[in-house]
Structures are given as structure tokens and as C-alpha cells.
Amino acid sequence: MRWNERLYIKDLVDKIGETHTLYGWVQFTRKSGKIRFLGFRDGSSIMQGVLVQGETDDATYEMFKDLRQETSIKMTGMVQQSKQSQYKVEMLVKEIEILGTSEQFPITPKEHGIDFLLSNRHLWLRSKKQVALFRIRSTIIQAIRDFLFENHFIQMDSPILTRSVGEDPAGLFGVDYFDMGTAYLAQTGQLYLEASIAAHANVFCFGPTFRAEKSKTRRHLTEFWMMEAEMAFFDNDDNMDFQEDLIKYVIQRVLDRGEWYLGHLERDPEVLKQVLGPFKRYSYSEAVEYLQSKGSEIKWGEDLGAPEETLLTDDSPVPAFVYDYPKEVKAFYMKENVEDPRTVKCSDLLAPEGFGEIIGGSQREDSHEKLLTRIKEMDLPVENYEWYLDLRKYGTVVHSGFGLGIERLVGWICGVPHVRETIPFPRLMERVTP
Ligand code: 4AD
Ligand code: MG
């Protein structure tokens, strides 16, 4: 059989009454009188296998007692209709061949502590909720790419090893780079995307990014995946409009294709449908006033923390943009606001329900002189930014872009509060295995 001739559960919808062979894993077994059941997972879905004395081969019926949680099997039988499963099929089993045994799989349906589960992440990924989560993560990533490709973008991959600090010099992981001293793991691909817009106008990158922040919160990983987009001739208002359209496109896609999995996560699709209305927009100054009116002690000039972000969004089901933050709390490359030079043209997109910042974006400083001044003021090594400054010498244009943290977006859409669950193998301050 060629690889593309193999059938999966999802292919059985129109094969009722036919006999077929599938490959997969046993999720559970159960007996009821003379009937034997097994939960069967093949990577495309889950369905039930039914063994009936007289219909199932005797040897297979006998061998049922050797099946354990996560035994890998080859299963042949007749496809039948079923009410419960995703594709409304089950299999009346004729024959099972055990491919790999599995004694005492460590993760059982009982409650396990999070530390145990994270230490067994390589096995935990097979659990129903985890399967649902990563199906939706994949759907989200595909939707983002589709939106970008449908809207004049091309993918430009950015380097992981770099010398040009993108965000915060304090949060860098260093790597010995031959006899050239230290290189850093990229915190962002943005600067390289900025170089690419003069060639392609609208570009994106999607890859792992690294932050050596000592943050032990439910929103911080030391390695996370970021989709970054950069657009020529976009000001920060265009930037926000674009982000809003992108997020709605992604939500709609998850509603269209992921409802079954949202069910496994006990995530109410109605909550997500409400996100399709217009997003809120507050200037930073308006946000501070609003927060103060709600009892917050924040003062103008301070960054918004998780409690402020929650307070700002908890009266509404839609995300909110906060734009024009004070210069002091943001990165060096953001464009100064002419109307109020204490601030820069940027925005954070805050997800509702306490999920907080999912996107950080800005219009970029396009003046060579202003950018150079800013690099010096922030004490960054100018020699590492010569190439970046060049971009302002040869055909500089108004441009903007943003970075979307995939783990935070997935967490919000799936209603999973901690990002350690929304990436396959989380890297946290206290964890780099498995
Ligand atoms: O706001 P950030 O730091 O922005 C940038 O890196 C820009 N260079 C992006 C750009 O304009 N091209 O990060 C962007 C997003 C955040 O909104 C958040 O969703 C996510 O990346 N993020 C993290 N996710 C998990 N763990 C962390 N430690 C994160 N830091 C940022
Ligand atoms: Mg940010």
C-alpha cells in the first residue's frame, strides 16, 4: 500500500458496510456481557471498536484481555454507523494485531498534578484534551497563514542567531559564537522583516523566539512562537485595523472547523462568536483614566501589568487595543508621536477574560536621525544597528508591524489559562525537559 492509500477514521464516513484496516492506539477497553469495546485513536480522530463473540475472530476475541491503554494495534473490521463519534462511525472488529505493547501507561483518567503531567509531557500529549488543544493550535496557525497569503504577504524567515537586540537587552540568551564572542537567540524577527519590506512590501515570519525573562507567570515562556508581520505604507491605524481583521478571521475559522475540539475543552463557542463584533480602542491616557476611575493606583507613565489589562477588558467580551504608550515603557524602534512626543505610535491588543496582551505592534521610526538618537539614548551598540539604520537611508517609508504570540492566542481561544499547556514542549524558567 502506498502511504497515500492508507485510510484514517475520518475517511470512513462514506464507507459504511465495507471492511477496512486502520492503524492506531487503544485509549481504553471495556466489557459489557459478551461484548467488548475499545476506544481507538488513529491521529485523525477517535472511534469505538466493538468485538462480538461469533463475529470477531476467536483469537482476537481471546486476545482482547491483553490490550492496555496505549497498546498500538492494526485493526480490521466492518465500518458501521455510530451516534457518538466525531465522524459518526465505529468498527465491528474482525481482527486485531498488536504492534507495540504498553504496560501501565502513567497517565490514567484520574487526576494528576501539573508537575507530574509536565514531566510526562511526551505522554500527556496523547490525552483527549491535549489532542483537542493541538488540533486547534494547528488550525489557528493555518488560518493565520491563509489570511496572510490571501492578502499580498510573503513569508521571509528571520535568523535565530543575532547580534541586534530587538526588544529588551536584559532578556537575552547568549550563545558562544566561535571566536566572535557572544551571539544571542532572537527575541524577535522584526528588524529583519523591516529590511524585507522594501523588496516585498508585506512580509511575515513565524518561528520560535526567546526571552530570558525571570517571569514565572501564566503568560510567560522562555521560548515561544511568534507570528510577526511587517507592512510598508501602513500607519498604526492601518496596523490595528489589519490585526482586528486577522483575529476575527482566525476566530471564524476555529468556529467553522474546530467546534468538536472546543467541546473537548469545554469552551463555549458562543463566547467566541461575540468576538466578531468591533474591538474596543483606548489611548494609553484614556486607559489610565479609566483604570483610575475603577480604583487602580496606576499613574501616567507606568506600564500596564496583568491586573490592569484584566481590569480594562473585563466589562466586555471583545478584545481591546491600547495605543500610544509612553516612550519609556516601549522598545527603541517605535515612532515618536508628533501630537504628544512623550508617547510612541504603538498598540497592544488585549484579549478579554483576563488573557491579557496577545499582540504587540507599532509604527516604526522611519527617520534616520531620530532612530540614531534613540539607539544612542538607550545605550545600544550602534555598530550592530548600522544595517538597520541603512534602511532609513535608502527609500525609507512609513511602515508598521506587529508580533502575535501563538501560545497566548491559543490559550485565549481554547480557554486554557496557562501557556505551559498551549505549546507542545514548554520551556519555563524551571523546566527544559522533556
Ligand atoms: O510585545 P512583544 O515583545 O513585541 C515584539 O517582540 C515585537 N518585536 C513584535 C513586532 O512588532 N514585530 O511580543 C509580541 C507578543 C506579545 O504580545 C505576546 O503575545 C508574545 O509575543 N510574548 C510572549 N509569549 C509567551 N511568553 C513570553 N515570554 C512572551 N513575550 C511576548
Ligand atoms: Mg509587548
Q: Which atom of ligand 1 is nearest to the CA of 406?
A: 19
CATH of the domain at 156: 3.30.930.10
Tens digit of each residue's pLDDT (9 = 90 or more) over 15-73: 999 999 999 999 999 999 999 999 999 999 999 999 999 999 999 999 999 999 999 99
Mutate to test the pocket of ligand 1, among 153, 197, 224, 228 (most ligand atoms within 8 A of CB): 224
pLDDT at 109: 86
pLDDT at 254: 98
* Contact status, residue 309 vs residue 296, Cβ threshold 8 Å: no
Please give the tally of structural domains in the chain.
Answer: 2
434: in domain:
no
Q: Which ligand is nearest to the CA of 329?
A: 2
For cell 525571570, name the residue. Answer: 214
Tens digit of each residue's pLDDT (9 = 90 or more) over 292-334: 999 999 999 999 999 999 999 988 899 999 999 999 999 999 9
Say whether pLDDT at 213 is over 90: no
159: in domain:
yes
How many angstroms separate the CA atoms of 291 and 369, rounded?
Answer: 36
399-405 and 223-232 strand pairing: antiparallel
Same domain, yes or no: 40 and 133:
no
Sorted by sequence, the CB contacts under 8 Å of residue 137 that are 6+ apart come out as 406, 410, 422
Q: Which atom of ligand 1 is nearest to the CA of 361?
A: 11
Show the CA angle centred on residue 302, arms to residues 297 and 303, nearest 5°: 110
116: in domain:
no
Same domain, yes or no: 202 and 329:
yes
Q: Which atom of ligand 1 is nearest to the CA of 213?
A: 28
pLDDT at 352: 96
* Contact status, residue 403 vs residue 359, Cβ threshold 8 Å: yes
Residue 350 pLDDT class (50, 70, 90 cuts):
very high
Tens digit of each residue's pLDDT (9 = 90 or more) over 216-270: 899 999 999 999 999 999 999 999 999 999 999 999 999 999 999 999 999 999 9
Same domain, yes or no: 47 and 132:
no
Q: Give the pLDDT mean for 411-428.
A: 98
How many angstroms separate the CA atoms of 279 and 269, rounded?
Answer: 18
Q: What are phi and psi of 188, to 5 degrees?
A: -165, 155
Say whether pLDDT at 211 is over 90: yes
115: in domain:
no
Ligand 1 pocket list (CB less than 6 A):
166-167, 188, 190, 211, 213, 220-221, 224, 226, 228, 357-362, 401-403, 405, 407-408, 419
pLDDT at 67: 98
Residue 1 pLDDT class (50, 70, 90 cuts):
confident
* Domain range enclosing 336: 122-421
Q: What are phi and psi of 408, to 5 degrees?
A: -70, -40
Sorted by sequence, the CB contacts under 8 Å of residue 384 that are 6+ apart come out as 163, 164, 165
Tens digit of each residue's pLDDT (9 = 90 or more) over 155-202: 999 999 999 887 888 899 999 999 999 999 999 999 999 999 999 999
Length of the chain (residues) = 434
112: in domain:
no
- Report how far apart, in Å, the C-alpha atoms of 430 and of each of 120, 165, 410 are: 15, 24, 22
CATH of the domain at 23: 2.40.50.140
376 alpha carbon – ligand 2 mean position (Å):
22
Same domain, yes or no: 308 and 174:
yes
Q: Which atom of ligand 1 is nearest to the CA of 402?
A: 11
* Contact status, residue 434 vs residue 383, Cβ threshold 8 Å: no
For cell 469552551, name the residue. Answer: 267
CA dihedral (417, 422, 427, 432) positive or negative: positive
pLDDT at 167: 81
Residue 121 pLDDT class (50, 70, 90 cuts):
very high
Q: Give the pLDDT mean for 350-373.
A: 97
- 43: region left, alpha or beta (phi > 0 left; psi from -120 to 50 alpha): left
Q: Which ligand is nearest to the CA of 173?
A: 1
pTM: 0.97
Q: Which atom of ligand 1 is nearest to the CA of 168?
A: 3
Q: Give the pLDDT mean for 281-287.
A: 98
Sorted by sequence, the CB contacts under 8 Å of residue 423 that are 6+ apart come out as 221, 223, 224, 225, 406, 407
* Contact status, residue 115 vs residue 80, Cβ threshold 8 Å: no
Mean pLDDT for all residues in the chain: 96
**Protein residue with its CA nearest to atom 21 in ligand 1:** 405
Tens digit of each residue's pLDDT (9 = 90 or more) over 378-397: 999 999 999 999 999 999 99
72 alpha carbon – ligand 2 mean position (Å):
44
392 alpha carbon – ligand 2 mean position (Å):
24
**Protein residue with its CA nearest to atom 5 in ligand 1:** 403
**Protein residue with its CA nearest to atom 29 in ligand 1:** 220
pLDDT at 218: 94
Same domain, yes or no: 80 and 147:
no
**Protein residue with its CA nearest to atom 20 in ligand 1:** 405
Same domain, yes or no: 61 and 189:
no
Q: Give the pLDDT mean for 110-116.
A: 94
The contacts found for 264-272 with CB under 8 angstroms, 24 or more apart, are 264/128, 264/129, 264/131, 264/132, 265/129, 265/132, 265/133, 265/136, 265/414, 265/415, 265/416, 266/415, 267/413, 267/414, 267/415, 271/317, 271/353, 271/415, 272/413
Same domain, yes or no: 67 and 136:
no
Same domain, yes or no: 154 and 64:
no
